[in-house]
């Protein structure tokens, strides 16, 4: 009996000594508050919602301009291509162990070959791949010649 009373007494004593207060101190960067304020301002601003062009996915062609296993080198080559030819979209593909840079969204192989002949001096190892592309918008306006 003495052991049971001693055990219960020590249990109550330890429970009271390990009790903690419910205070939480949040340490955060002050920029977080400004980001939250900007986000709420953007979503509260009434206005017209602009609908972008839909992205149509179809099979087409892309030109592979570079591949390698060094990620930094691949990013450098991608930046180099974008600086030389800013009108073409670039796509980074990773298939273990290499990274591949593919460019363009071409509907026909002939369009891809035209790009190849244009960029061959800057990028000597070029290949054409058929894959799913973001199909470019078709020009549906009619000219006087077509009427």
Domain that includes residue 89, residue range: 60-107+123-135
In a domain, 68, yes or no: yes
In a domain, 5, yes or no: no
In a domain, 16, yes or no: no
In a domain, 72, yes or no: yes
CA atoms within 13 A on the CB side of 140: 3
pLDDT at 74: 92
pLDDT at 34: 81
In a domain, 102, yes or no: yes
Structure tokens at 59: 């099979």
pLDDT at 6: 86
Residue 112, burial from CB neighbour count under 10 angstroms (0-12, 13-18, 19+): buried
- Walk along the chain (147 residues) and give the pLDDT tens digit of each residue: 888 888 787 777 666 556 566 777 788 877 888 888 888 877 776 666 666 666 677 899 999 999 999 989 999 999 999 999 999 999 999 998 999 999 999 999 999 999 999 999 988 889 999 999 887 766 666 666 655
In a domain, 12, yes or no: no
In a domain, 66, yes or no: yes
CATH classification at residue 74: 3.30.70.1070
In a domain, 71, yes or no: yes
Contact (CB, 8 A) for 72 and 115: no
Total-model pTM: 0.57
Q: What are phi and psi of 69, to 5 degrees?
A: -95, -15
Indicate the number of domains in the chain.
1
Structure tokens at 23: 């205070």
- Calculate the alpha carbon distances from 12 to 3, 9, 15, 22, 52 in Å: 14, 5, 5, 20, 66
Collapse the DSSP code of 76 into the 3-class scheme (helix H, G, I; strand E, B; otherwise coil) and give the result: helix
């Amino acid at each position: 009996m003495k052991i049971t009373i001693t055990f219960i007494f020590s249990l109550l004593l330890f429970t009271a000594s390990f009790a903690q207060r419910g205070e939480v101190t949040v340490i955060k960067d002050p920029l977080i508050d400004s980001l939250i304020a900007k986000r709420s301002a953007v979503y509260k601003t009434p206005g017209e919602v602009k609908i972008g062009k839909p992205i149509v996915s179809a099979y087409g062609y892309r030109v592979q301009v570079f591949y390698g296993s060094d990620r930094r080198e691949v990013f450098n080559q991608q930046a180099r291509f974008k600086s030389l030819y800013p009108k073409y979209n670039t796509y980074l593909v990773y298939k273990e162990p290499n990274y591949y840079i593919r460019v363009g969204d071409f509907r026909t192989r002939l369009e891809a070959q035209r790009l190849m002949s244009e960029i061959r001096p800057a990028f000597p190892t070029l290949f054409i791949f058929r894959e799913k592309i973001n199909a470019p918008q078709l020009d549906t306006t009619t000219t006087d010649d077509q009427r």
